[in-house]
Amino acid sequence: MTTYPNVKFVTSAAEANQFAQDVGSEIAFAGRSNSGKSTALNAITMRSGLARVSRTPGRTQLINFFELAPGRRLVDLPGYGYAKVPERVRLHWLALMEHYFNVRESLVGLMLIVDSRRGLSAQDVAMLEWILARNRQAHVLLTKADKLNRRDSQLILKETMAAGAAAAVSAQLFSAHRSLGLEEARAVMDRWLNHP
Ligand SMILES: Nc1nc2c(ncn2[C@@H]2O[C@H](COP(=O)(O)OP(=O)(O)OP(=O)(O)O)[C@@H](O)[C@H]2O)c(=O)[nH]1
Ligand SMILES: [Mg+2]
């Protein structure tokens, strides 16, 4: 089993000049606001308090960098799609994300965090197109799978895999609350980090 005994918080960035040093390999966690990004990151690294979890959507407004090992990072990106965010904040988010994806040489892949009850949104698809256009890998975590019955979770998994197949985007079911899919997610991340 893969574990990350030395995982630690590196830095938070509100602006591009605050990003962690762009060396080694880095995986970004992105998705709609409240989709379970921070929870997934905590579950995968087995560190409950690492990334901040909140019931209030749009809580993570900063780009948070974590180090698994020297030169191996995870990045918790602020969520998108939360209607109540003021326009000024939304535009800042957009500019910061665009900049992040454009400049980040160490970025090897995107873990796209999608609430399994909602499935891929137009913004999720745009995010996938963005990352694939930059020749990076992508994997979809269908989170909160504990909220669906077996039939519905298999259905959404099948749909998501079909949507991603042409672009070689993989997908899986995930539940931090039930510890479902942790090893599968770690295996994907290890593959990306060790063979960028
Ligand atoms: N049932 C269930 N709830 C979950 C799961 N993962 C996350 N949640 C809940 O979903 C809510 C949002 O989780 P976060 O991890 O803060 O989501 P986020 O995507 O980081 O949110 P923002 O940073 O605000 O964009 C919290 O109330 C979590 O407890 C899960 O596996 N199962
Ligand atoms: Mg968060």
pLDDT at 1 over 60: no
Are the CB atoms for 31 and 79 separated by under 8 Å?
yes
Q: If you measure from the C-alpha of residue 113 to the centroid of ligand 2, how many angstroms do you get, rounded to a whole number?
A: 11
How much is the mean pLDDT over the chain?
Answer: 91
- Is residue 137 scored above 80 in pLDDT? yes
Token code pair at residue 21: 């040093």
Pocket test for ligand 1, best of 12, 45, 54, 66 (most atoms within 8 A of CB): 54
Q: What is the mean pLDDT of residues 98-106?
A: 94
Q: Lowest mean pLDDT: which of 77-81, 85-89, 106-110, 138-142?
A: 85-89
Quick one: average pLDDT of 28-53? 89
The bound ligand whose nearest atom lies closest to the alpha carbon of 59 is 1
Look at residue 52 in the predicted model and tell me its pLDDT.
76
CA of 128 to the centre of ligand 1 (A): 21
Q: What is the mean pLDDT of residues 77-91?
A: 84
Residue 83 has pLDDT above 80, yes or no: no
Give the distance, in angstroms, between the CA of residue 32 and the centroid of all CA atoms in the same chain.
10
Tell me, what DSSP letter sits at residue 51?
S
14 vs 146, residue with greater confidence? 146
Contact 26, 104 (CB under 8 A): yes
Mean pLDDT of 81-100: 85
Q: Is the pLDDT of residue 8 over 70?
A: yes
Nearest-ligand number for the alpha carbon of 117: 1
Q: Are 40 and 172 in contact (CB under 8 A)?
A: no
- Asked if 27 contacts 109 with a C-beta cutoff of 8 angstroms, the reply is yes
Tokens of 127: 């995010």
CA of 132 to the centre of ligand 2 (A): 23
Angle at 58 between CA 139 and CA 179, to 5 degrees: 45
Residue 187 tokens, joined = 């295996």
Mutate to test the pocket of ligand 1, among 32, 39, 124, 179 (most ligand atoms within 8 A of CB): 39
CB 169 within 8 A of CB 139: yes
pLDDT for 87? 86
The whole-number pLDDT of residue 190 equals 95
CA dihedral (21, 96, 161, 183) positive or negative: positive
Confidence band for 59, pLDDT divided at 50, 70 and 90: low
